């Protein structure tokens, strides 16, 4: 028997533009090279207030829902772990930030809700699923830490500017209104209903 073909892998150079985002669809594996920015709860809340100054170039950015473990290394820093955190808790802020900053990508785990999905479709943004439990493997794809912003939130909640190379992610929400997370929920519900009907 012939082995199943591997799904195609797309290499993307950051920053992305609208055309590059809209060429992608759910289910595509992607490797990112360029700059990404970590952002967790405190940063999403802060950025949601338009009166707060934004100390890093957020327009067209890719935000990573991650609280990295970063240690001093000479005159700079070294990332020892960089796994994704659960994204859904940023749902109250995400659509507004996508539209305000024309964000091109959100990296995290677990997916997000309909507000984020609709904003991705309107503005040209992707939700990119990173593998949970692989924090050290993902850290190995970070070439260097370029800087840190909003340090007063503390190391896990600060914005870290990370230069990544071939950072592996899966497109699970695209700019065409498709959500792999919704598909999984619907298929699971259908299978459960079938099982219950057979008992």
CATH of the domain at 37: 3.20.130.10
* pLDDT greater than 80 at residue 184: no
pLDDT in tens, 30-56: 999 999 999 999 999 999 999 999 999
Predicted pLDDT at 12: 95
Beta strands in the chain (DSSP E): 9-13, 29-38, 62-64, 69-73, 76-81, 105-108, 126-129, 142-149, 159-173
109, part of any domain: yes
Q: Helices (H) and strands (E) in the chain — how many of each? A: 6, 9
Residue 9 bridge partners (DSSP): 29
1, part of any domain: no
Domain hosting residue 166, numbered range: 9-198
Active-site positions read 44
pLDDT in tens, 150-170: 999 999 999 999 999 999 999
Least confident among 7-16, 51-60, 90-99, 163-172: 7-16
- C-alpha closest to that of 47 among 98, 113, 106, 89: 98
119, part of any domain: yes
Predicted pLDDT at 199: 74
107, part of any domain: yes
Percentage above 90 pLDDT, the chain: 80
Predicted pLDDT at 1: 63
Give pTM, 2 decimals: 0.90
| Domains: count for the chain | 1
3, part of any domain: no
C-alpha angle 95-70-81 in degrees, rounded to nearest 5? 75
C-alpha–C-alpha distance, residues 143 and 31, integer Å: 14
- C-alpha closest to that of 78 among 146, 151, 133, 32: 146
pLDDT in tens, 97-129: 999 999 999 999 999 999 999 999 999 999 999
101, part of any domain: yes
Return the higher-pLDDT residue of 134 and 168.
168
50, part of any domain: yes
Contact 48, 93 (CB under 8 A): yes
4, part of any domain: no
């Amino acid at each position: 028997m012939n082995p199943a073909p591997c799904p195609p892998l797309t290499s993307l150079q950051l920053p992305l533009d609208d055309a590059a985002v809209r060429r992608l669809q759910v289910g595509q594996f992607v490797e990112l090279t360029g700059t990404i920015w970590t952002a967790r709860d405190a940063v999403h809340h802060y950025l949601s207030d338009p009166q707060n100054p934004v100390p890093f170039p957020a327009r067209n950015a890719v935000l990573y829902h991650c609280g990295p473990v970063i240690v001093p290394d000479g005159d700079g820093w070294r990332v020892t772990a960089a796994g994704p955190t659960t994204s859904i808790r940023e749902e109250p802020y995400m659509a507004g930030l996508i539209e305000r900053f024309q964000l091109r990508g959100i990296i995290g785990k677990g997916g997000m809700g309909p507000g984020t999905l609709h904003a991705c479709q309107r503005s040209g943004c992707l939700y990119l699923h990173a593998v949970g439990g692989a924090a050290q493997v993902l850290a190995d794809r970070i070439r260097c830490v370029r800087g840190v912003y909003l340090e007063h939130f503390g190391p896990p909640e600060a914005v870290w500017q990370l230069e990544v190379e071939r950072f592996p992610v899966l497109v699970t929400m695209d700019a065409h209104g498709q959500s792999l997370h919704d598909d999984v929920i619907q298929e699971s519900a259908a299978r459960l209903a079938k099982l219950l009907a057979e008992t």
